[in-house]
Amino acid sequence: MINQIQARLPVKSLKRFLSVSKVWNSLISDPHLAAMHLKQSEKCIHSSRLMSVDVDDPNIDRPERLPHDFHITDSCNGLLLVSTRRSYGTYLCNPTTRELRKLPSTLADEPASANNELVPISLGYDEVNNDYKVVAAHFCTFSGSSGTRRWTDGAIYSLKADIWTRIGSLNEWRIAGSHTCQRLHGSLHWLTRPKSHYDFGSITGYPKAIANLWVYDGRLSIAISEPAADRQKSAYDIWVMEEYRDESSWKLLFKIPAEPSLVRHFYFAVPRLLWRLGDGKLLLQFYSSFVQYDPKEGFLDVMYYCKSSPSLLLAL
């Protein structure tokens, strides 16, 4: 009964109750309660809010050990994957409890003399092992007696084990930006491109396209720029994979026009799908602008414009 009540309390209240007694401290610290609280929170979602915070504001309250120069790469179950714009490292942050974990900067089996860079791509939850994991691209240069060798691997970080593990070679491919990563059917998906060229021809027929990956109506989708000599005639094609993992099932769903008043902001941007509203309208991000698009009416409307490109979280 106590656990059922605690699972319905705000996290900040639970944190205060840690000091009530040793019994309460043990109950609240139990991972089982955290799982119950998360499931209960999912049932209590009534509305969605889009919130913007200026992370450069000197008055903002942040964990003391978090570098000032940072951006939010991803989020999962209330945890934030935070990357720094300089070589200060990568962090997992719980903004509610103010806990901060700096991730190791090297792989467990990496040569001591290697120069490396871990670029985080996405954060996810492993339900089978009850563990949070980070996927990253690992760029490495090793200089030895036989010369210099460079390679790129995929790497995965386990919060439980607190180590990075190499999961495969990415030598032939490059990740096309962290914002392309999407979760679907228990897996992470992201766009890649060959190092020698950029080719989406097998999927869309646009070999020089700039693209973003979406999940639209529960299906893997892709937004592709269709630039034109006349910028006012530019558009964005939205393709959907009707049958999961079937490359032959890609279908052009609709086009998003680049209206004349908006082209000057969006010409080189490809929209990110943030949310699909109940009436079918889409909330999109074009760099620093948030736009609402109605696929039925073909109407595009700027809702909000930021001075700089934001690290965005959709708060539920």
pLDDT tens track for 37-76? 666 665 554 455 555 555 555 555 555 566 666 778 888 8
140 vs 224, higher pLDDT:
224
Instruction: Give every CB contact of residue 47 below 8 A, 6+ residues apart in sequence.
Output: none
Instruction: List the structure tokens of 220.
Output: 């893997």
CB 255 within 8 A of CB 237: yes
**Sequence spans of domains, the chain:** 1-44, 51-179, 196-315
| Phi/psi of residue 61, nearest 5 degrees | -90, 115
The residue among 43 and 222 whose pLDDT is bigger is 222
Mean pLDDT of the chain, nearest integer: 73
Q: Quick one: pLDDT at residue 193?
A: 64
Least confident span in 58-72, 77-91, 242-256, 269-283 = 58-72
3-state secondary structure the chain: CHHHHHCCCCHHHHHHHCCCCHHHHHHHHCHHHHHHHHHHHHHCCCCCEECCCCCCCCCCCCCCCCCCCEEEEEEECCEEEEEECCCCCEEEEECCCCEEEECCCCCCCCCCCCEEEEEEEEEEEECCCCEEEEEEEEEEEEEECCEEEEEEEEEEEECCCCEEEEEEECCCEEECCHHHCEEECCEEECCEEECCCCCCCCCCCCCCCCEEEEEECCEEEEEEEECCCCHHHCEEEEEEECCCCCHHHEEEEEEEECCHHHHHHHCCCCCEEEEECCCCCEEEEECCEEEEEECCCCEEEEEEECCCCCCCCEEC
* Pair 180, 213: CB distance under 8 Å: yes
How far is 173 from 188, CA to CA, in rounded Å?
16
Q: What does the pLDDT read at residue 204?
A: 40
Lowest mean pLDDT among 40-54, 98-112, 236-250, 270-284: 40-54
* 261: confidence class by pLDDT, cuts 50, 70, 90: low
Q: Which residues of 250-277 are buried (b: 16+ CB within 10 A; e: fewer)?
A: beebbebbbbeebeebbeebbbbbbeee
